[in-house]
Structure 1
Amino acid sequence: DTTKRNLIERPSKIVVLGGAVVDMVARPKEKTEIIIGTSNPGSCAESDGGVGRNVAEALGRLGCNPVLYSAIGSDLRGQGLMERLEGVGCTNMSVVVKDASTATYLAVLNGDGDLHVAIANMGVLSEIAVPPKEIFEQGIEFLVMDGNPTVSVLRQASEFAVENGITICLEPTSVPKARAVAQDQELLSRITYAFPNVDELMAMAEKLSDRPELTLEDLATINHLPHIQVAAAMVLKQMNPDGAHLVITMGDKGVFLASRRNDEVSKLQHFPAPYGVEVKNATGAGDSLCAAFIASLVNGKSESDAVAIGMQAATLSLECANRAVSPNLADLKLS
C-alpha cells in the first residue's frame, strides 16, 4: 500500500475519512420489462459516488479545500475518480491498494426506474487506514467520517482529532454502520455533529436504550413526546458531553436539528422541505447537506443557519440528474 501524499500541500481546515465508489446504473428502455437470461436494449451510465467522496466533492465545490483520505484500487477507475476530485479543489491522500479494484456499485433498474438487482464490490474500503497523525497537526478544524472505515479506524482517527482540538462529524452511511458506531461508547462520545437519516437514528437509539424491553414507541408514549425526539435525546446523551447536534434528514418531510449543550435538555427544531423540487437524483442530497452545513460552520454560521444553507445544497443536488453532487454548489452563498 502507498499513500499519494504524506503532507497537505495547501491550507485546509477539513479532513474527510471515508469511502470512494464508482456507481454504474443500467436501465432498459422506459416502460420495458426486463427479460431475464438475455440482452435487453437500454442505457448505461457511470458516475462518482461514495459518502466520503461525495462530501469531499461538495466541500471542494464550496471552496473549502478538503482533504479526502480513502482507499482505491490500482486501476483506471480509481485514478480517474481521484483526478476528477482534484479538479474541483480536493487534496487526495487515498491509499492505493495493489491487486484490488476500486469500489464499484452496479445497479440494474426496471422499466419504471426502480431497483431490479444490484451488485456491490466494496472490499477495498476495508483497507481505509487511519490518516497519519501529522495530518491532524496542520491546523485542521473538522474531521468528517463516514461509516465505511472499520470502527477501530474511526476510533483511532477520532482520538488523534480530540488530541488536537478538532471537531468530529459523522455521516453514518447505513443502518448497520450506524449501529456499529452506537455500540462503541468511546467513539460516540467524541462526536459533536452527526447526520443520520431517520432509520439510522432509530437504529442508533435502539442500541443505546437502557430499557431494551421497550420499543421507542413505548418510550415516546411514556414520556409524552414524539418518538423522533426520544430517539434524538438518547443519542445526544452519549455524544460529546460538552455539546452535540444531530441533523436528521427525513426526505420530503424535511430536516430536524436536535441539539444539546452541556447538560441541558435536548431541543428539536424542524426545517420543512422546500416545495416544488423536481427530484432527478437523490444519491448525493444528504452528503451535499452535510458538506454545506460544515462549510457554513467554518464560515461562522450558527447551526440553524447551517441547516438552512445545507438544505439549499441538498436541493441543488436533488435537481441534478447525472451527478450525486451538483456543480452549482459553487454558486451557494456561505457568508
Structure 2
Amino acid sequence: MAEPAGRRMEAVRRHLLPPSAPPPPVLSPNPLSSLAVTVVEPSPVIIGGMVLDIHAKPSVPPHPGTTVPGMVKYISGGVARNIAECMSKLGTRPFMISVVGNDMAGDFLLKYWRSAGLCTEVAYESGVPVLFEPVSVVKSRRIEPIAEYITCTSPNEIELVAMANALSPSVKYNFHKMEQCKDKAEAVEYLFEMLSPAMFFLLENGIKLLIVTLGSNGVFICCKEHTNFMKDQRKCKQTPFSTQLLEKLEGSFLSNTPVNLCGERSSRTCVFHLPAISASVISLTGAGDCLVGGVLSGLCGGLDIIRSVAVGVAIAKASVESEANIPDNICAASVADDAKRILLSAKKLWCR
C-alpha cells in the first residue's frame, strides 16, 4: 500500500514543482507573474478524485432476511470534483486533474462534466498558490513530502492534528473532544486551546493560511498578519456572483478591525473565529467541499480571505440543506445574507 501512495504523491509533487524547461508556447503565461496586468482572471487547478457516488435509501424500515424496497441514485462525487463543480456554479472556471475509468461510471461522470460546460483538457502553470484539502486523517498525513509547496490547507480538528504529527518527529499533538459545554463560546475557547499548538506549528513550517473547520462550531482562520492568498486580490476579475457578494458584504467585519490581511508582511500570527449558522440538515455529504469551493471562488472573484471564508461557510449551509452533493441552485442573495450574518458574529481570538 505504501508504494502506490508514494507514486501518487510523487505525481502531485511533480505538478507543483517548477518545470525543468519553459512551458510550450501554446500555453498562456501565468497572469499572476506580470505586474503590468491590471485585471486578472485566475484559473484554479483542482487535483483529486472524480468518483460516482451511489446513494441507497430504503423506503420502509429494513427487516433482516427479506428484500427491502427502496431507491438508488447515482450522483457525481469525489472531493475535488465537488469543489470544482461548486466553483463553476459560482462563476469561476476551474481546471481539474483526475483519473477516470473507461467504464459506465467514467462515462456518467464525464457526460455530466461536459454538460456543465467544464473543460476536459488541463495545462500546467507554475507560480500559483496551492490549497491542500486533507479529505481524511489517513490522507492528511500525506502532506509530509509536499508541505513546502502548500499555501493553504483546510483540515478539520483531527486532520489538523494528524498533519502536525506527520511533520513533527519529536513533539506529538493531541485533540480530545469536549464532553459537555455550557454554550458555543465555551466550546470555541476550548477548541482554540486544544488546537492552537498544532495550528501555530503548521504556520511555522511554511503553511501560510489555515482554515480549520469545526462543524457546528464554525471555522478558525489562522495566518500571519497581512497574508494575502494571491498577489493582488483587488486586481482579480470579478464574476457576476462575486460582484453581488462584494456589494452586500462591503464594510463587514474587517473595516472595523486594525488587522489587514492584504498588505505588508508581518510576523504577528492572527486567529479569527467565524461561527456556523443554523440549518435544516438533509445531508452532510459535500458540505466541506462546498466550503472549499466557496472560499476559492471568493478569492478568485476579488474577495479578501475572511469574506471568502464566510461565503464558503454560507454555501456549506446551502449544501447541508440539499440532497445533492452540490446544491442545484445557489442564490447569490441568500449566500450574501448568510455570509453577512456570519461576519457580524466573527471575532478576532488572538493576534501577537
Shorter-normalised TM range:
0.5 to 0.7
Q: CA contact under 8 A between 1:282 and 1:317: conserved in structure 2?
A: yes
Q: CA contact under 8 A between 1:61 and 1:330: conserved in structure 2?
A: no
2:135 is the counterpart of 1:173: yes
CA distance in 1, matches of 2:95, 2:175: 38
Q: In the TM superposition, what are the counterparts of 1:128-147 in structure 2 within 5 Å?
A: 135-137=123-125
Kindly, what percent of the aligned residue pairs are identical?
A: 29
Residues 79, 229 of structure 1: CA spacing in aligned structure 2 closer, same or farther, 3 A cutoff? Answer: same
CA distance in 1, matches of 2:193, 2:206: 21
Q: In the TM superposition, what are the counterparts of 1:264-303 in structure 2 within 5 Å?
A: 264-275=267-278, 277-303=279-305
After superposition, the CA RMSD in angstroms is: 2.6
Equivalent in the alignment of 1:252 = 216
What one-letter code is carried by the residue in structure 1 that aligns with 2:213?
Answer: T
CA distance in 2, matches of 1:320, 1:84: 19
Q: CA contact under 8 A between 1:61 and 1:89: conserved in structure 2?
A: no
Q: CA contact under 8 A between 1:56 and 1:90: conserved in structure 2?
A: no
Q: CA contact under 8 A between 1:197 and 1:249: conserved in structure 2?
A: yes
Distance apart, 1:300 and its partner CA: 1.7
CA distance in 1, matches of 2:199, 2:277: 23
Matched pairs, number? 245
What one-letter code is carried by the residue in structure 2 that aligns with 1:328?
Answer: N
What one-letter code is carried by the residue in structure 2 that aligns with 1:58?
Answer: C
Q: In the TM superposition, what are the counterparts of 1:1-335 in structure 2 within 5 Å?
A: 13-30=43-60, 32-35=61-64, 38-93=66-121, 135-137=123-125, 164-181=126-143, 183-184=144-145, 187-209=146-168, 211-212=170-171, 215=174, 226-240=193-207, 244-260=208-224, 261=227, 264-275=267-278, 277-321=279-323, 323-329=324-330, 331=332
Equivalent in the alignment of 1:220 = none
CA distance in 2, matches of 1:53, 1:214: 31
For residues 100-156 of structure 1, what are the alpha-carbon distances to aligned partners after superposition, in whole Å with 9 as ceiling and x for unaligned? xxxxxxxxxxxxxxxxxxxxxxxxxxxxxxx6xxx234xxxxxxxxxxxxxxxxxxx
Residues 39, 297 of structure 1: CA spacing in aligned structure 2 closer, same or farther, 3 A cutoff? Answer: same
User: Which range is displaced more, 304-313 or 208-217?
Assistant: 208-217
Distance apart, 1:309 and its partner CA: 0.8
Distance apart, 1:8 and its partner CA: 8.4
Distance apart, 1:263 and its partner CA: 6.7
Distance apart, 1:227 and its partner CA: 1.6
Distance apart, 1:214 and its partner CA: 6.7
User: Is the partner of 1:177 in helix, strand or coil?
Assistant: helix
CA distance in 1, matches of 2:87, 2:47: 13
For residues 185-241 of structure 1, what are the alpha-carbon distances to aligned partners after superposition, in whole Å with 9 as ceiling and x for unaligned? xx1111111111111111112223354367467xxxxxxx7121111111222234x
CA distance in 2, matches of 1:285, 1:42: 25
CA distance in 1, matches of 2:70, 2:287: 26
Q: Which has the higher helix share?
A: 2
Residues 215, 249 of structure 1: CA spacing in aligned structure 2 closer, same or farther, 3 A cutoff? Answer: closer
What one-letter code is carried by the residue in structure 1 that aligns with 2:96?
Answer: L
Distance apart, 1:264 and its partner CA: 2.1
Distance apart, 1:330 and its partner CA: 6.0
CA distance in 2, matches of 1:214, 1:294: 29
Equivalent in the alignment of 1:107 = none
Distance apart, 1:312 and its partner CA: 1.2
CA distance in 2, matches of 1:91, 1:59: 13
CA distance in 2, matches of 1:41, 1:285: 28
Equivalent in the alignment of 2:17 = none
CA distance in 1, matches of 2:58, 2:99: 32
For residues 277-296 of structure 1, what are the alpha-carbon distances to aligned partners after superposition, in whole Å with 9 as ceiling and x for unaligned? 01111111111111111111
What one-letter code is carried by the residue in structure 2 that aligns with 1:75?
Answer: D
User: Is the partner of 1:304 in helix, strand or coil?
Assistant: helix
Distance apart, 1:61 and its partner CA: 0.7
CA distance in 2, matches of 1:203, 1:56: 25
Residues 213, 204 of structure 1: CA spacing in aligned structure 2 closer, same or farther, 3 A cutoff? Answer: closer
CA distance in 2, matches of 1:311, 1:214: 27
Distance apart, 1:39 and its partner CA: 2.5
